[in-house]
Chains A and B, each alone.
Chain A
C-alpha cells in the first residue's frame, strides 16, 4: 500500500485547512502497512463496530491517491468499496409496514440522483482538484450535502402533485383534516423531541412546505422563536419574519406533522 496521507488543500472560510479526523489519520498510517489484498479484505467489513472496520474517509483517501499511480485495477477495487459505503450512507427509500414494503417514490428518485452525482464527482475528482476533500473529513456529512439540491427539487415537484391539497385560494387544509389533526387548538409539539418518533418525524419534515420545514428544523436545534435581546439567534431573525409569522408556520407545521404521524386524536 502507498504511504500515509498528504494534507488536504481546501480551506474553510476562516483560512484554516480542511483536516481529517485524528482517527482517520491514524487509520491511514496503520492500513498503509497492509498488503493491498488484506486492505481490501478489511474494506469489505461494513459493520462500524467491528475492530477491523475501515472508515469511509480512509477509503476515500486511498481512492483519491490512485490519481497518481494510474493503476486501473487498484482504482476499480477501491471504487467498489467506496460505492458500497456511499449506499450505506444513504437513507433507505423504502419502509416496511407490517407485511408490506412501501417504496417512497420521491426518496427513490432522490437516491438515483445522488448516486449519479457521486459517480460524476469521483470521475471529475480523478482529474485533480480539491472538490472531494470533505469526503476525507466527514464522509457521511458530505453525502448528506449531496442530497440537498435534488431533495429540494424533488419535494417541490412532489408537492405539486400531492392529492391532499388545501384550498388553493386560502392555502388552508379542509376542516375535517384540521379536526383530525386537533388543529383548532394550540398544537402540542412534545412529539418533536420524542426519540420514538424521531426517524418518521424527520421523513415527514422533508414533506413539509419549505417555510414550515425551516421553522421546525430550527426548533429541533433549540433555536428560540423570538427574543428581545438582539444578540440571541432566533428563528424570527434567521428568516426575516415577525414572531407572529413564525408562530403561524410553527403551528401549521406541527399540525401537518401530527396528522402525518397519526397523532390527531391525542393532542
Chain B
C-alpha cells in the first residue's frame, strides 16, 4: 500500500539536512511553506537538542524509571488482558461517536483483526483512553491472533474459524464504508 507522504517524512528529511547546515531551514521554508510553523518549531527543538547534548547523566531515579518500564512491558506481555471484555453496548455507542467510526471498525479491534502496526498513534491513544488502558496494554492485546467473538452465532454445520490474516486499518475503514475523506483524517499520524 502506498501511503501518502506525511509532514513527518518532510521533517525527518529536514532534520537530516539541518544537521549539515542551518541553511536547510530557509530551503525547506521555500519548498514547504505550508509546514512553516512545524519547520521553525523543529529547528528550535534541534537547536536545543544540539546545545544540551552531553550535559546529562543517568541518575538513580532514572534507573528506577527504566526498570519500571521493563517491568511494565513484561507484565503486559505475560498477562494479556482483554480490554473489551467488560465493555457494555452503551460504551460501543459512545466510542463510535467519539472516534467517528462505524461499529464494524470497533468490532475489528475487539476481534483483533486489525494489524496494529498500521493504526495511527492518535487513534490508538483515543481508543486506549476510552478503554481505560495504557497504549502498551492495548497494543499487546491487539498483537494476539484474530479471534471469533465468544457470543457469535452461526447457522452452518461446521463452526466458522477465526480469520488467520490481520487486516490493515485503512482496509478495515474502507470495508466498513467510511468515506475517503474521513479515512484520510483517521489515518493522520502525529508529526
Q: Is B9 an interface residue, CB under 8 A from the partner?
A: yes
Given the known interface contacts A90-B56, A221-B22, the answer about A119 and B136 at a Cβ–Cβ threshold of 8 Å is yes
Say yes or no: B52 contacts A92, CB within 8 Å.
Answer: yes
Q: What separation, in Å, do the CA atoms of A128 and B19 have in the docked complex?
A: 28
Query: How does the 8 Å CB contact mask read for A133-162 relative to B, with 1 for contact and 0 for none?
Result: 010011011111101110110000000000
Q: Pick from B10, B19, B73, B121: contact of A13, CB below 8 A.
A: B10
On chain B, the number of residues with a Cβ less than 8 Å from chain A's Cβ atoms is: 67
Q: Nearest chain-B residue to A83 (Cβ)?
A: B66
Q: Given the complex of chains A and B, what is the CA–CA distance between A241 and B72 in angstroms?
A: 49
Interface residues of B in 1-32 (CB under 8 A from A): 5, 8-13, 15-16, 18-19, 22-23, 25-27, 29-30
A92-B52, A124-B121 known; A220 vs B47 contact (CB < 8 Å): yes
A12 CA to B58 CA, complexed, in Å: 34
Flag if A238 contacts B36 (CB, 8 Å): yes
Which chain B residues border A217 with CB–CB below 8 Å?
Answer: 25, 40-41, 43-44, 47
User: In the complex the two chains form, is B47's CB within 8 Å of A83's CB?
Assistant: no
Q: How far is the CA of A141 from the CA of B53 in the complex (A)?
A: 11
Q: Please report whether the interface of chain A is mostly helix, strand, loop or mixed according to DSSP.
A: helix
| A: number of interface residues (CB 8 Å) | 64
Are A138 and B48 in touch, CB under 8 angstroms?
A: no
- The stretch from B80-88, B98-106, B138-146, B148-156 touching chain A is B138-146
Contacts of B27 in A (CB 8 A): 233
Judge whether A151 and B45 touch: CB under 8 Å: yes
Q: In whole angstroms, how far apart are the Cα atoms of A143 and B18 in the complex?
A: 15
Residues in chain A within 8 A of chain B (CB atoms): 10-14, 18, 46, 48, 72, 76, 79-80, 83-84, 87-92, 115, 119-121, 123-129, 131, 134, 137-138, 140-145, 147-149, 151-152, 198-199, 202-203, 205-206, 213-214, 217-218, 220-223, 233, 237-239
Q: A91-B49, A217-B47 are in contact. List 13 more A-B contacts (CB 8 A).
A: A72-B74, A79-B69, A80-B70, A87-B56, A87-B62, A90-B52, A91-B51, A119-B69, A124-B124, A144-B42, A145-B191, A149-B191, A206-B44
Chain B residues at the A interface, C-beta cutoff of 8 Å: 5, 8-13, 15-16, 18-19, 22-23, 25-27, 29-30, 33, 36-38, 40-49, 51-58, 62, 65-67, 69-70, 72-74, 76-77, 115-118, 121, 124, 134-136, 139-140, 142-143, 189-191
